[in-house]
Structure 1
Amino acid sequence: MTARDLKELSRADALRLLASAPIGRIVFTRHALPAVRPVNHIVVDGHIVIRSDPGTVISAEVAPSGAVVAFEADELDVEERLGWSVIVTGVARLVEDPEEAASYRARLIPWLAGDRDQVIRIRAEMVTGFELVPAASPNGSSSV
């Protein structure tokens, strides 16, 4: 199998790739331990937006407290060993403006049953992205 290099992505490229992923994972703290939930999302003005229902774990642990969370999405081809991964860290808060929340609800259709009336925005404070690319050969060209 051909070797690969890890190429760091710019913030703009990382957010562009994150926006292309249909599913990501929100990482938060529950009972002082890390918890992870898959969610669908959109990226708006460099922030991640998700929907939740009151009473869910995400709603209880993330939305009301302004919790620091991580959000991760990736697209990896295990056979070719190519792809990318993006991790965003930031504060999650409920979107309380009714018009803004309605706008997000119209653009972000939940995959799960239920209304998912709460809209949560994650402010992208730290954005880290990497891409697996063909390794450069000793003469400087890519080995494909």
Structure 2
Amino acid sequence: MDADDGFRELDRLECLRLLPTVPVGRIVYTRQALPAVLPVNFRLDRDGAVLVRTSAFSELVSAIDAALVAFEADEVDAAAHSGWSVVVMGTATVVTDPAEHLRLLRTGPRSWAPASREVFVRIEPELVTGRELVGGRSAQGVRSPS
């Protein structure tokens, strides 16, 4: 895409810089052979992996462990008609290494809905894409349909 359609492609580094600026994203996965979307709070790890902390007994954990998922986060300014969206695609795995789990207890995301037994899910960033709305309606006036 080029700026002529109002959008600008974001490179991987721009995407990874924008992601931590918002508190919530969405995991897109398959549930009973159908697409499912779940909002989650998250944090990026030092290698750019998306980290989610959730109940060890959640349906999400059993549905996404070792599965290919998408993670999307965005920011929209409705008044300025601007914003961005980033999608991270990769394999989700439950963190099982005890030392890694301890590290994430200190540095990882805090669950907004704490559970008695929580696990960390890591989404490896195999493909990272994004786009930014540039020159929205408020910046260029109302566009005529093409």
TM range (shorter): 0.7 to 0.9
Cα 1:102–1:134 change in 2 (3 A) is same
Q: Kindly indicate which of the two structures has a greater share of residues assigned to helix.
A: 2
Identity percentage of aligned residues: 42
For 2:44, the equivalent position in structure 1 comes to 43
What does the per-residue CA deviation read over 1:20-71, in whole Å, with 9 as the maximum and x for residues that have no partner?
11000001100000111111111111110101112211111012xx000000
Asked whether the 8 Å contact 1:25–1:73 carries over to 2, the reply is yes
Question: How do residues 1-144 of structure 1 correspond to structure 2 at under 5 angstroms?
Answer: 5-44=6-45, 45-63=47-65, 66-107=66-107, 108-115=109-116, 117-134=118-135, 143=140
Root mean square deviation, CA, Å: 1.9
Tell me which stretches of 4 or more aligned residues in structure 1 moved more than 6 Å. none
Unaligned runs of 5+ in 2: 142-146
Q: Distance in 1 between matches of 2:101 and 2:17?
A: 22
Asked whether the 8 Å contact 1:50–1:119 carries over to 2, the reply is yes
Q: Which amino acid aligns with 1:70?
A: A
More off after superposition, 126-135 vs 38-47 = 126-135
**Under a length normalisation based on structure 2, what TM-score does the superposition of the two structures give?**
0.84
**Under a length normalisation based on structure 1, what TM-score does the superposition of the two structures give?**
0.85
Q: Distance in 1 between matches of 2:117 and 2:37?
A: 18
What is the total number of aligned residue pairs between the two structures? 134
Asked whether the 8 Å contact 1:4–1:133 carries over to 2, the reply is no
Unaligned runs of 5+ in 1: 136-141
Tell me the secondary structure at the aligned position of residue 134 of structure 2.
strand
Asked whether the 8 Å contact 1:27–1:70 carries over to 2, the reply is yes
Q: Distance in 2 between matches of 1:114 and 1:74?
A: 27
Asked whether the 8 Å contact 2:54–2:115 carries over to 1, the reply is no
How many angstroms does 1:105 deviate by? 2.3
How many angstroms does 1:116 deviate by? 5.3
